């Protein structure tokens, strides 16, 4: 999603009650200790505590009495300031810590001691359970003389005692090599293959000649056999690989394995049941992302939580949110909607493309040759609205649509009809943090043309799909879409600031011809009006080659228009050429898939994987599926179906990027409330949550400390702190929902 963050996780200023301070040490020498008096042999200096913590030296350790009744980790802390850090330098951060009673989670941070309190490295061990001695290596992303080591110990209902010793931040160390456990060298779709669909696998091997392979059933009997096809070196992983094609085997069953070159794959099924479940779970993801609503345990066992951002202390709520200073003089009720990702922000540009892809999932079921709209029947998702005689997917998307409509600038105000770009916290919050415990001030950010066009497109699409169930809402949505379109035409170049990335992602986009094209397309498909058709036909985007290697996303929305113009019935002049353009784009992705040793329709220039690469793979597969819906060509259906293999385990890391689907799956995605890695009392993300996947830019400190020099597929780590490779977002799961539904329909 390309959210260029200028700050990481905000730290609260905890310097009141400081014990002492000493001058900064000199940086840059080999094997230099940066922490002063980390053994506490000289008392407590220069360590400080927050005002509510009392600390002293006991038996050679610093022991702190931590009060109960605090909410957040940073509400109580011990630390040391004036620690120099050198950009690019590797450090070993180590310490001894224990607690009475045991099992408390402590957030240990190396960061900035002044505003904006960036965190450059952090871990959150559970004392005793994690062991009492800890050691980590990381690389500093900055030069500063104002570094800080801090131990955040708040968040406990009851008072407890925290003891610390042997604290060290040693500069000049050799980074510890990171070797991911990639398991068996035979890589398969760990979830399963359709009986009548393609079945392919990849073998990592030094062999250059074909190798024999065997397909074994759950009893170990050989069900099929053949020879691998050598593919040479895969540029996206640096591995020498062979391919296996066992598509001729069509018998359903569970617990199959592939054996080649002395290795057995992880088990997999042949059938469609798993895709039926995945199509539901991927859509269920949105219920637990809801803002402004208590999540019910009976509907999502293990995921119950209080309503977030409804104004219950310490939360300041979203029912009366002011603008950033100088932006406007009114307040808006922007409650509801989905939290965009692992933070507490809500963004119109990402909300718009997410709404489109989920509504497109439903709309495809209405028009496509294999569509099955009954799968979205009332009650199919078990959400609070189930039982109201409206398809559950439409009910879920309505929660976000209502929020998007609230983001429109009211009549009588400057820029009336436009949409505010986003709403989120004034500063970044730390992990873990339930939405209901977020104490930050919330702010509306300036309106933008891009956000306004997202609103116009999403609301126009909604108007035609909700009309059979709620004509009043459909009329309201269409009126909002028309108003937004007029406002965008009157203000065609109001852009989001690239520097507006404190407290939430910036989502900047200065090329919005595609958003104008998309909004006009949706308005035309809903109204049939000539003025919208004229805009579509006269747009340079209409005849442009829009199906590039990295596909479409929130900043590249032309494909949303082109796909709908090609598949939603209309009388658009030249519609056959529109349909041909989709097929031509699919041909390119199909060629990429066939040439790729891992069989996926994604090969970015230089194998530089983008932020959210997993959903870009899926969106390219959506184009393949669209070509199948247009032509009925089996090769397009098979290409789309095969694209799921990479997502579900047939990749260099041998991991499924979907939580709960496969033997080894992503489960520590970056999130403030699906944060079990940091707090054992919180859950991992729910089954059906898609990780962003490999990102060659590795912007976060965890990825930078472990993945330097990574190649393509290896630029990923399943760590909650790796927000650049392992976040979850509403638009990424929308791509998963669309594709899971498509594959299930082919079963």
Active site residues: 718, 727
718 token code pair: 């399943």
CA dist., res. 508 & res. 499, Å (int): 9
Tell me the C-alpha distance between 302 and 316, whole Å: 26
Cβ atoms of 145 and 24 closer than 8 Å = yes
Q: Which of 574, 579, 540 is nearest to 558 (CA)?
A: 540
Which tokens belong to 672? 């403030």
Q: Supply 707's token pair.
A: 């993945």
In this structure, what token pair is assigned to residue 299? 């509907």
Please answer whether residues 449 and 493 qualify as being in contact, where contact means their C-beta atoms are separated by less than 8 angstroms: yes
Contacts of 728 by beta carbon, 8 Å cutoff, 6+ apart: 285, 341, 342, 669, 670, 671, 674, 685, 689, 690, 691, 692
| CA gap 168, 79 in Å, rounded | 12
Would you state the structure tokens that stand for residue 518, as one six-digit string?
């998309």
CA dihedral 624, 540, 580, 586 (to 10 degrees): -20
Residue pointed to by tokens 């345990």? 297
Distance from C-alpha of 678 to C-alpha of 105, rounded to nearest angstrom? 7
| CA-atom Rg of the chain in angstroms | 27
Nearest to 598 by CA among 633, 644, 636, 553: 644
Q: Are 189 and 650 in contact (CB under 8 A)?
A: yes
Q: Is 341 strand, coil or helix? A: coil
Burial track 201-216 (b if 16+ CB lie within 10 A, e otherwise): bbbbbeeeeebebbbb
User: What's the CA gap between 81 and 18, in Å, rounded?
Assistant: 10
Rounded CA-CA distance 248/197 in Å is 9
């Amino acid at each position: 999603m390309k959210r260029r963050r200028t700050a990481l996780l905000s730290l609260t200023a905890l310097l009141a009650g400081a014990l002492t301070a000493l001058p900064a040490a000199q940086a840059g020498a080999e094997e230099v200790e940066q922490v002063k008096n980390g053994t506490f042999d000289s008392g407590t200096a220069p360590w400080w505590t927050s005002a509510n913590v009392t600390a002293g030296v006991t038996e050679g350790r610093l022991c702190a009495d931590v009060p109960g009744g605090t909410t957040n980790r940073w509400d109580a802390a011990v630390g040391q300031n004036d620690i120099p850090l050198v950009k690019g330098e590797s450090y070993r951060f180590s310490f001894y810590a224990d607690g009475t009673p045991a099992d408390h989670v402590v957030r240990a941070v190396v960061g900035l001691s002044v505003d904006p309190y960036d965190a450059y490295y952090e871990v959150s061990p559970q004392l005793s359970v994690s062991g009492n001695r800890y050691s980590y290596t990381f690389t500093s992303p900055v030069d500063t003389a104002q570094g800080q080591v801090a131990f955040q110990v708040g968040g406990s209902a009851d008072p407890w005692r925290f003891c610390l010793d042997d604290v060290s931040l040693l500069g000049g160390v050799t980074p510890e090599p990171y070797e991911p456990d990639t398991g068996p060298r035979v890589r398969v779709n760990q979830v399963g293959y359709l009986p009548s669909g393609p079945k392919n696998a990849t073998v990592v091997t030094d062999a250059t000649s074909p190798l024999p392979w065997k397909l074994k059933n759950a009893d170990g009997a050989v069900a099929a056999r053949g020879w691998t096809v050598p593919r040479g070196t895969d540029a996206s992983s640096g591995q020498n690989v062979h391919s296996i094609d066992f598509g001729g085997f069509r018998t359903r069953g569970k617990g199959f394995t592939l054996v080649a070159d002395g290795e057995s794959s992880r088990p997999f099924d042949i059938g469609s049941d798993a895709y039926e479940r995945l199509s539901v779970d991927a859509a269920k993801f949105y219920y637990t992302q809801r803002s402004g609503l208590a999540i019910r345990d009976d509907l999502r066992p293990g995921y119950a939580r209080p309503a977030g951002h409804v104004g219950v202390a310490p939360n300041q709520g979203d029912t009366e949110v002011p603008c950033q200073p100088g932006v406007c003089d009114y307040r808006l009720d922007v409650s509801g909607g989905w939290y965009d990702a692992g933070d507490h922000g809500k963004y119109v540009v990402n909300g718009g493309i997410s709404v489109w892809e989920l509504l497109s999932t439903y709309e495809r079921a209405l028009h496509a040759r294999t569509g099955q709209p009954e799968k979205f029947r009332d009650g199919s998702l078990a959400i609070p609205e189930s039982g109201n005689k409206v398809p559950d997917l439409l009910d879920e998307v309505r929660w976000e649509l209502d929020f998007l409509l609230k983001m429109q600038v009211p009549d009588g105000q400057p820029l009336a009809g436009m949409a505010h770009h986003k709403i989120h916290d004034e500063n970044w919050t730390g992990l873990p943090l339930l939405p209901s415990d977020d104490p930050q001030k919330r702010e509306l950010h300036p309106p933008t043309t891009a956000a306004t066009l997202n609103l116009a497109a999403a609301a126009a699409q909604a108007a035609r799909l909700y009309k059979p169930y709620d004509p009043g809402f459909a009329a309201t949505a269409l009126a909002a879409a028309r108003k937004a379109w007029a406002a965008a035409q009157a203000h065609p170049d109001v852009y989001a600031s690239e520097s507006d990335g404190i407290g939430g992602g910036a989502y900047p986009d200065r090329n919005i011809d595609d958003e104008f094209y998309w909004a006009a397309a949706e308005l035309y498909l809903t109204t049939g009006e000539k003025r919208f058709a004229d805009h579509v036909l006269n747009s340079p985007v209409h005849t442009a080659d829009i199906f590039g290697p990295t596909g479409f996303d929130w900043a590249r929305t032309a494909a949303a228009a082109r796909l709908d113009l090609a598949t939603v019935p209309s009388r658009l002049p030249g519609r056959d050429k529109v349909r041909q353009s989709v097929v031509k784009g699919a041909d390119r992705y199909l060629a990429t898939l066939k040439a790729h040793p891992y069989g996926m329709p994604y090969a970015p220039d230089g194998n530089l994987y983008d932020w959210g690469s997993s959903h870009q793979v899926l969106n390219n597969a959506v184009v393949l599926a669209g070509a199948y819906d247009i032509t009925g060509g089996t090769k397009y259906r098979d290409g789309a179906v095969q694209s799921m293999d990479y997502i579900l385990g047939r990749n260099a890391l041998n991991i499924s990027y979907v939580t709960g689907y496969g033997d080894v799956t992503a489960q520590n995605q970056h999130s403030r409330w699906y944060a079990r890695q940091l707090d054992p009392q919180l859950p991992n993300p729910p089954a059906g949550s898609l990780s962003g996947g490999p990102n060659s830019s590795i912007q976060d400190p965890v990825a930078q400390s472990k993945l330097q020099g990574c190649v393509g597929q290896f630029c990923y780590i399943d760590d909650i702190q790796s927000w650049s490779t392992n976040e979850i977002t509403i638009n990424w799961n929308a791509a998963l929902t669309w594709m899971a539904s498509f594959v299930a329909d082919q079963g």
